[in-house]
Amino acid sequence: MSLDRRQLLHRSGATGAGLVAASLGLGSPARATMRSSASARWPGPRLFPPLVDGDLLALPPGFSYRVVAQAGVTTMQDGALTPDHPDGLSALVWGRGYRLIQNHEARPGSVQPVPLTPGTIYDGGVLGGGCTVIDVTREGERISERVVLSGTFNNCSGGRTPWGTWLSCEETEFTAGTVVGTSILRQDHGYVFEVFPHGPSGRSPQPIRAWGRAPREAVVLEPSRTRAYLTEDASTPSGLLYRWSAPTGYRLGPHIAESLGDDDGTLAALALLAPDGSILADLSYVTSAQIGRPFKATWKAVPDRHATTTALRLQFDNGEITRGKKLEGASGTGRGMYFTSSFAAAADVPANATPHDGQLWFYDFREQTLTLVAYFPYNALLRSAPPGWEQSLGVSLDLAFDGPDNVHVSPYGSLILAEDGATANHLLAWSREYGAQAIARSRVVRAQNPAGGNVYGEMTGPCFSPDGRILFVSVQVPGYTFAISGPWATYL
């Protein structure tokens, strides 16, 4: 029998959050690479000053933004307009500037879907999501944009490979023959695709079937290149964290889909051990009292990775695996990976578990442990109030943080979190010294609230340029991508 919340609190100890972050190695290795000179003393993170409102973003003094792309406004190389719903994003060095590869969480019926483009099409029956590549200067000024993946569905977050390609995740599990809007799907969906930002792979996009089919959010590869970790953003029931392990003698490299058979390797779901050795049923049993307590991770093999008749998360009985509401963005380090559980309301958690407005987790590859490193307590007012309530009541937009979604390990060591919250949507910096602090806030109006005030768009896909000069980020609806410049090294 799995432990309930009271038993877990009683049987486990709490560790200070600062000690946890230090033990996970946040900061020092990455910061050392960003020093301006070998003899410079790295000061560590500092508090950002309060945000100042701009037209589209609120930023700290001394920081500025440039619009890189705007859905339905900027033009791509073939004359088509930039697609909407920008999400996962990665930045590579390209010539004297940067090359961005960007997911679009679009679906049939989107105002500006990713156009079906020859050589990039997976499913010709879907006019929806995909990926584009955007080239910019070192100042973040737009040069060009083109489609590199189309005919896919709800391309949400993803992950970058060590060899410079991009892994794009479909957040859906629709099968061939399903009617979605005016589209009739010709292929099964819910896969990860490897995307080649510097040129086509030489054939039509192929899903990585060995990694299974589910509503994927993000993926991280171990440095050993023998394991991949995949988050699942799902409900009824909540999703799972998956691990794919390579067959003996195989190491991941370019052209993953072509090099792996459909059933190669082992796909398994997380089964977290409670202190008494039973399986922890849900991540929402772990609260701020357990910050810093490592839980041993075990893994339960998925019976049918292709979800032929049954979704992956439904192939397990409760008590066999550990579920988590809204397992979202993930980002890796040499030692492990961070991922978020964005929120879990009262209706989402099992008996005796605690609702929350966000959890930040760290999985240690070598130790095979999972540790809660940050916790956003549940705020019933935020979750029950209508959008825009802060403005109608005259409450500060920076009053509370909630709904951490995408996560990015910055070149400076601090984490960057993007909120998909019930209130204002921020970019947050998170470090062991200061916890979470606002470094940007969306002022892109998504809708008008009839009760008064604006509803602002969700921030997505934060990532730094490899040299740490520019932070790229998007607002999903109505669809903007920004390049934010400023004295990042001073604060992160």
> Do 367 and 423 meet the contact criterion of CB atoms below 8 Å apart?
no
The model carries a pTM of 0.91
According to the model, what pLDDT value does residue 471 have? 98
Q: Is residue 424 part of a domain?
A: yes
For residue 108, the SS3 value is: coil
Higher local confidence (pLDDT), 379 or 96? 96
* Distance separating alpha carbons of residues 270 and 1, to the nearest angstrom: 17
Numbers of helices and strands, H then E, in the chain: 7, 30
According to the model, what pLDDT value does residue 34 have? 39
Domain that holds residue 466: 46-73+379-492
Q: Is residue 455 part of a domain?
A: yes
Q: Is residue 340 part of a domain?
A: no
> Do 108 and 126 meet the contact criterion of CB atoms below 8 Å apart?
yes
Looking at the chain, the whole-number percentage of residues with pLDDT higher than 90 is 76
Element (H, E) at 391: helix 389-393
> Do 409 and 392 meet the contact criterion of CB atoms below 8 Å apart?
no
> Do 323 and 302 meet the contact criterion of CB atoms below 8 Å apart?
no
Q: Is residue 454 part of a domain?
A: yes
Looking at the chain, the whole-number percentage of residues with pLDDT higher than 70 is 86
According to the model, what pLDDT value does residue 389 have? 60
According to the model, what pLDDT value does residue 396 have? 62
According to the model, what pLDDT value does residue 198 have? 87
Maximum CA extent, the chain: 63
* Distance separating alpha carbons of residues 34 and 43, to the nearest angstrom: 12
According to the model, what pLDDT value does residue 204 have? 83
- pLDDT, mean over the chain: 88
* Distance separating alpha carbons of residues 208 and 260, to the nearest angstrom: 8
Question: How many CA atoms, within 13 angstroms, populate the side-chain half-sphere of residue 455?
Answer: 16
Q: Is residue 417 part of a domain?
A: yes
Q: Is residue 370 part of a domain?
A: no
* Distance separating alpha carbons of residues 25 and 4, to the nearest angstrom: 31
Q: Is residue 6 part of a domain?
A: no
Confidence category of residue 125, pLDDT binned at 50, 70, 90? very high
Confidence category of residue 43, pLDDT binned at 50, 70, 90? low
Q: Is residue 384 part of a domain?
A: yes
* Distance separating alpha carbons of residues 184 and 29, to the nearest angstrom: 49
H helix runs in 240-305, sequence order = 256-259
According to the model, what pLDDT value does residue 386 have? 66
Q: Indicate the DSSP class of residue 346.
A: G
For the beta sheet containing 97-104, the strands, ordered from the edge strand earlier in sequence to the opposite edge, are: 86-94, 97-104, 129-136, 142-152
Domain count, the chain: 1
